[in-house]
Structures are given as C-alpha cells and as structure tokens.
Amino acid sequence: MSVTRIPEAQEYILHWGEMGSHWGVNRSVSQIHALLYLSDRPLHAEEICESLSLARSNVSTALKELQGYNIVRRTHVVGDRRDHFVAELDLWDMFMAIVAERKRREIDPIIARLGELSERMAGREEIPGHVRQRIGRMHEFISTLTGWYLQVRGLKKSTLIALMKLGSKVARFVPGSSTPNN
C-alpha cells in the first residue's frame, strides 16, 4: 500500500512541504523528502511522480537537491534497472546533514564576505567608525557561532543527545552563570 493512501501520511507530506517553503526549500523538494522518509522501500522517480502528482522534471531536480543535502541517496533494486531513492532515516544524521549543507551554502559565504569587508575597511578614515565596528562585530559573532557549531558537530551522537537533553541545566557548568527555574 502506498503511504500516500494513508490520510495521516498525506497530511504529513503536505505539511512537510508547507514547512519546507517556510524554511526556504521548494515545496516539491520537501514533499518528496517526506514521501521517501515515510516509505518502507526504495522508490523510483516514476513512483514519486505518480504518488505526488509531480512532473518528472520537477522530481529529477528535487532528487538532485535532496542528494546534495545528503539526506536522500540513490540505490538499486535487484531486477530493476531504474534508480531508486531512499531517505536518511536516522533523525540526528539527517539533522546534522541539513545543518552542514545550510552552513556551507549560507553561513560560509557570509563569513567570507564580512571578512573581506572588514579587511577593506581597516584603517580607512572616510568610513565611519561605527560602520567598521558593527561589520567587524557581526563577523566575529558569526565566526564564533560557526566555531561553536564545528566543535559541537565533532561530539559523538550520544554526547550530543545528552547535551541537548540537559537544556539550560548546562549553564551549571559555566562559572558565574545561573540556571533559570525549570
């Protein structure tokens, strides 16, 4: 039975597509990801087209995008020459892959540009000090966040999960901080 015949699965696929559009991802890309995530077997492109009523070109483009994020991979089924596709099912691995790709596409170019701007403005008196300072602070801030992300990304999954579950309690380990009431 196709998962798209299950009303709750249909609702999930539609909602994931809607959420994807809020996150800056094409609705079809998100819906295909949702379909593959819910599927109990690899699907070929024609099945995806039929299940979601999408054009073949749209599905091909979306599958390339999802493979670029490393959350969908191509696989083969014995006796079938077509390419089939499966989604990453480990939610932590999927999350980390999405974050890594978003960082590469969105954050890394910002850091590079802010660094270039800071260098170009250094020592130039005709540029107001507050402009140099604010661009420099933004560069430092985003670079610091990126450094933190890279350190956290290097943690074992079990350690990361434990850290996430600690939530604000982690502040107990920082000298001079206080933990809000829970």
What is the per-residue pLDDT across 67-105, written as a single tens digit (0 to 9) for each?
999 999 999 999 999 999 999 999 999 999 999 999 999
Q: Which of 13, 12, 17 is nearest to 27 (CA)?
A: 17
Q: What is the DSSP letter of 88?
A: -
Would you state the pLDDT for residue 171?
A: 82
One domain for residues 35 and 103: no
Kindly state the helix (H) or strand (E) to which residue 75 belongs, with its residue range. strand 72-77
pLDDT band at 159; cut points 50, 70, 90: very high
Residues 162-178 have a mean pLDDT of 84
For residues 73 and 104, state if they share a domain: no
Residue 106 shares a structural domain with residue 74: no
Q: Where are the alpha helices (DSSP H) in the chain?
A: 7-22, 27-38, 45-52, 56-68, 91-102, 108-121, 129-153, 157-166
Among candidate residues 87, 111, 137, the one where a domain is terminated: 87
Residue 117 has pLDDT above 80, yes or no: yes
Which of 72, 53, 75 shows the shortest CA–CA distance to 63?
Answer: 72
Residue 59 has a pLDDT of 97
Residue 182 confidence (pLDDT) above 60: no
